[in-house]
Amino acid sequence: MHRSGAASRREGFTLVELLLAVTLGVLATAVLASLLHGLLSAVRIQATQTEGPEAARAALRQMSRELASAFAPPDPDEVPFALQHSHEPGKPSMSLSFYATVPYLPGTFAAYGIEHITYEVVHSGPGDQRELRRISVPSAGPRSGAPTTNILLRGAFRLSAAIPTQGNLEEEWPPPAMETAELPPAVRLTLDGLAPSSTAYTMETLVQAAHGISSPIERPNAGEEAPAR
The rounded distance, in Å, linking the Cα atoms of 81 and 136 is: 14
**The whole model's pTM is what?**
0.68
Predicted confidence (pLDDT) per residue in 109-139, tens digit: 556 678 999 999 999 888 888 999 999 998 8
Contact (Cβ atoms closer than 8 angstroms) between residue 102 and residue 115 = yes
Q: What are the beta bridge partners of residue 66?
A: none
Asked whether residue 83 carries a pLDDT value surpassing 50, the answer given is: yes
Predicted confidence (pLDDT) per residue in 155-190, tens digit: 889 999 999 988 889 999 998 888 888 889 899 999
H or E element that contains 124: none
* Band (12; pLDDT cuts 50, 70, 90): low
Q: Enter the DSSP assignment of 113.
A: E
Residue 109 pLDDT: 53
- Read out DSSP for 131-161? EEEEEEEESSSTTTT--EEEEEEEEEEEEEE
